[in-house]
Amino acid sequence: MNRLPVAIAQLNFTVGDVDANVDKMLAAAGRARSELGCRAVIFPELSITGYPPEDLLFRKDFLDRADAALARLTDATTDISVIVGHPHRAHGHLYNAASVISEGRVTARYLKRELPNFGVFDEKRYFSPGDQPCVFQIDGINMGLTICEDVWHAQPVADCAAAGADLILNLNASPYDLHKAREREEQVVSQRAKASALPIVYINLVGGQDELVFDGGSFACSAAGEVIYREAFFEETLSRLDIASQGIEPVNKSVALLAREESVYRALCIGVRDYVQKNGFQGTVLGLSGGIDSALTLAVAADALGKNNVHAVLMPSRYTREMSIQDAMAEVEALGVAHEVIPIEPLVESYRRQLEPIFQGLPQDTTEENLQSRIRGNLLMAISNKTGKLVLATGNKSEMAVGYATLYGDMAGGFAVIKDVFKTLVYELAVYRNTNGEVIPERVITRPPSAELAPDQEDTDSLPPYGVLDPILEAFIEHDCAAEEIIAKGFDPQVVENVIRMVVRNEYKRRQAPPGVRITRRAFGRDRRYPITSGFS
């Protein structure tokens, strides 16, 4: 019986850094051969360029560099077969390709057939589709080659089976969302394996790239549709599978799917870590209010980057409650991060005096509240300019949706950690984090949330309770439900109409918000692209 030991290289690549990406591949290929005893190593989709390379793919010099990197990988891997994703130019077209390299030459090449063009994907902007299956052989094992979206469609897998494949390899750069890991396995790959009566090995990218997070979780599925092996999530791994004509035999112990809160928390951590480190920032700085949002952001940052790379700034005003300062201090002490206290009341008074001639005779309103927030944003950006630390914005998805945030104030920053996390989930994540050691005081989780920009202010002065608000927002934003459909679910018609009105009229704010980690299927930015100016009601 033929047996082929292969290495699954679930690695973290950087978009555009093709030389470093190939260096990482060569190191993994060497380990796969010498330490794991493998005859082949498999890398994810477009791993030479990183994913998604976006409009870099329009640059000839970038594609030339990718070609040179592929040639270097080909020349340097003569003692192990390599299956690698990369862009490929041919006959005036650009393809999302995967090549098989053996004994210093390309022995097979597959061109991705199904190009996703929805949500965060716009591959038809760059690539032409292939139209042929690819089945290649190593050590007597016939392997069908597919790329990511191909396995979500029946024909590419069926064509590989008809061409004589013993199993299917599927190279992926599949972004994380709350439901993706289970959906990949149970609703897609398992069904495709059973339909074709072929095992499928699913190799996924890991790491953060701007808003996107790739969660890894590579796995092997038997011909009966059973997941028989799964790699770790949110970690780089290099592991061995033994492939025979009769099926797949895992060598290492399989891991379990993650619970919802753990998967989201780890996605936030890897998203922050890679954004900061891949962009060369000298750590992070954030405003710490004593509220739940900044507390969770602080915990994520400290867990992602280490306490020495996080700087918290407390900026109390006359409306800041004493318990907020106490809770914020408890958070910095629990996490061991550096902190400063900068009272903003003198600055607020200075602004008021300068604006008094213009504001004379006009009643106080949210303008005075927003002054406080903008002063805080100004201070944080000054610290960032001076120290090279990235400002982390702390607003959540519920606030971003309805505009309950100050443009150039608490929206100021370079990266918004929880911008795709609804407020109700913020609380769940805080409880989850405390199961690994309490760093967020219980009072922060249980007391009513407040912006503390006016006397005795609470969020419910301006918004419905989050337990009501978030389901309405989810229905409208993530499922495109009309007002009538949401009302039919049992929500108050006036509340629904007010919420929708707030979402629509605050699109201009969201266009100016920093990027942040995507965890849902309809994040603001790449997923949801609504016009600012629109007559549709």
- Residues 300 and 145: their CA atoms lie apart, in Å, by 38
Q: How far is CA 160 from CA 100, 132, 170, 201, in A?
A: 16, 9, 12, 14
Is the preceding omega at residue 343 within 30 degrees of 0, hence cis? no
> What values do phi and psi take at 76, rounded to 5?
-90, -10
Longest pairwise C-alpha distance within the chain: 90
Q: Which residue out of 114, 123, 134, 148 is catalytically annotated?
A: 148
Q: Is there a catalytic annotation at residue 134?
A: no
Q: Is there a catalytic annotation at residue 148?
A: yes
Report DSSP letters for 182-216, one per residue: HIIIIIIIHHHHHHHT--EEEEE-EEEETTEEEEB
Of 105, 126, 101, 128, nearest in space to 43 by CA: 101
Q: Which residue out of 24, 45, 231, 452 is catalytically annotated?
A: 45
Q: Which two tokens stand for residue 351?
A: 């602004």
Alpha carbon 492 to its chain's center: 34
Of 445, 457, 441, 459, nearest in space to 405 by CA: 459
Q: Is there a catalytic annotation at residue 397?
A: no
Contact 25, 47 (CB under 8 A): yes
Count how many Cα atoms sit within 13 Å of the Cα of residue 496 in the half-sphere of its side chain: 19
- Residues 414 and 275: their CA atoms lie apart, in Å, by 10
Active-site residue set: 45, 112, 148
